[in-house]
Amino acid sequence: MRIALFGYGKMGKVIEKIAQNRGHEITARVDSSNPKERFDLSDTDVVIEFSKPEFAEENIRFCINNNLPIVIGTTGWYDKLEDLTSYCNTNSGAMLHATNFSLGVNIFFEINKKLAAIMSNFPDYETSVVEIHHTEKLDAPSGTGITIAEGIIEQHQQFDGWENVKKTEITDKKTLSIESQRLPNVPGTHEVIYESSIDKIELIHTAHNREGFGLGSILAAEWLKGKQGVYTMKDVLNF
């Protein structure tokens, strides 16, 4: 498979290595010094996009307009998701988006929703989400943190929204806390905490490196090739 990388920072280089180890060819490495317009993408099978939030919408529309299936790992653009979903479907494009491509995190998402449904019956437990990332991460809360919170809200009758603050700063019991921490050299840690006066239940996913995100994005690209429509990792993993 021939893959173009839109975004060639640390994540792009990890994806490149994994792709080549799986026998794929890299047709373009797009960054600020090498814009996508410089490349001949006519024989590219799929684009993997890990750039910056402010470039995501333009990159997605470019790929749809040029009949390039796109796998989007960038977060921070989801306010445009509804419009881009409609644009993709109207123009017979193919896009696959995920707030996190790690296989472990996507398993975590499913466990999180099941645990939230159980804990909805135990109102004595206070609920909160904590997400920890490296200091270079531009958006807060993380897209993964938002997905976790939305999974809890979907299943837990107490909550109808979330706020990006510490649990101690929440004044409305119907609002779920997402606390964001930025520390050096942290690929990503996500915690869901249920705490009462007598005990605490914690669900934690800790990424040891970026390789899990890279592998997941390659698996998504392999799955998306030849398809039309809008998909997520739930489709890839058949959840």
Name the helix (H) or strand (E) containing 177: strand 175-182
Question: How far is 224 from 179, CA to CA, in rounded Å?
Answer: 34
Is 137 one of the catalytic residues? Answer: yes
Is 166 one of the catalytic residues? Answer: no
| DSSP 8-state class, residue 31 | B
Among candidate residues 24, 36, 97, 133, the one labeled active-site is 133
Contacts of 209 (CB under 8 A, 6+ apart): 187
HEC readout, 180-200: EEECCCCCCEEEEEEECCCCE
Among candidate residues 137, 166, 225, 227, the one labeled active-site is 137
Question: How far is 63 from 75, CA to CA, in rounded Å?
Answer: 17
Question: How far is 231 from 178, CA to CA, in rounded Å?
Answer: 26
CB of 73 within 8 A of CB of 5? Answer: no
Q: Where in the sequence numbering do the catalytic residues fall? A: 133, 137
